[in-house]
Amino acid sequence: MKAVNVSTNTWASALKKMAVAAVGVATMLGLAAPAVAAPPSGSDSVRVVGGIPAAQGEFPWMVRLSMGCGGTLYTRQIVLTAAHCVPQTGPNSRITATMGVVDLEDPSAVRIQSTYVYQSPTYGTSTGGDWALIELASPAPEELGTLPIATTTAYNNGAFDVIGWGAAKEGGPQQRELLKAKVDFVNDDTCKAAGGFYAGLIPSAEICAGNIPAGSTDTCQGDSGGPMFRRDNNNAWIQVGITSWGEGCGRDGKPGVYTEVNTFAAAIAAARI
């Protein structure tokens, strides 16, 4: 979440992508504990339109983290996720990374414990930086591969793919099956014009995507840390964003906001973990 002078209730409502209440996450991970605002009246009718089940093996580098976030295999032993999903930098063996399946109850799932967490040192500052790295106790199976990240703004356009095990509607339950959907690039001026938190968008650190003005297609609670990605010039997947925040899920005129990966690519590559 960007550094803004707001109440803790408002702050928590903007970081809407986490799977569990912020108080619960705070207790588990040692974070500050803002209260979470309740979903607005009638929010149960707000659905992530276009979300369909992903096929087994379609996105092999996708990871589910035990605190209720998503992530991707940056390397076979390092998961890239959102800074707001993790505690401060340091040793951490309490996170379980589940991978290799679309069904979280599939007995063939690979599960590896964390050993260390690196949280972006600029997270929460005026320059943004909602990204983090999680070191695993052992490498992921080679066949799962990795997801490269963008190092330029060349792919900050067009349609993106988003995936996750998060809620299929605002305030809804987490999903057992991995879902995928398409979202469209939203330019900075249009995103800022959505008002509220969006007026404070950090253009160099954040990128918006969704369906403007109708809403409907979006990431939701539990999708934090997961990738926003597209095909590169060689038709290979490349990660452009990290699911970060937004007002609600799929609300009219309220796009999702993602960490702009290319801005932090050098810092991610240089992180000592």
Residue numbers annotated as active site: 84, 130, 224
Of 150, 154, 161, 213, the residue nearest 186 (C-alpha): 213
What does the block give as tokens for 227? 């990738």
Backbone angles phi, psi at 138, to 5 degrees: -150, 160
Residue with token string 């690979």: 110
Contacts with 195 (C-beta within 8 Å, 6 or more apart), sequence order: none
Residue with token string 């879902």: 179
Helix segments in 193-249, DSSP class H: none
Tally of residues, the chain:
273
Contact 2, 27 (CB under 8 A): no
* CB-CB neighbours of 125 under 10 Å: 13
Q: Report the relative pairing of strands 110-119 and 78-81 from DSSP bridges.
A: unpaired
Give CA–CA dist 164/157, Å, rounded.
Answer: 21
CA angle, residues 50, 70, 98, in degrees to nearest 5: 115
Residue with token string 């032993």: 77
CA 226 to mean position of chain CA atoms: 4
Of 129, 151, 163, 176, the residue nearest 61 (C-alpha): 163
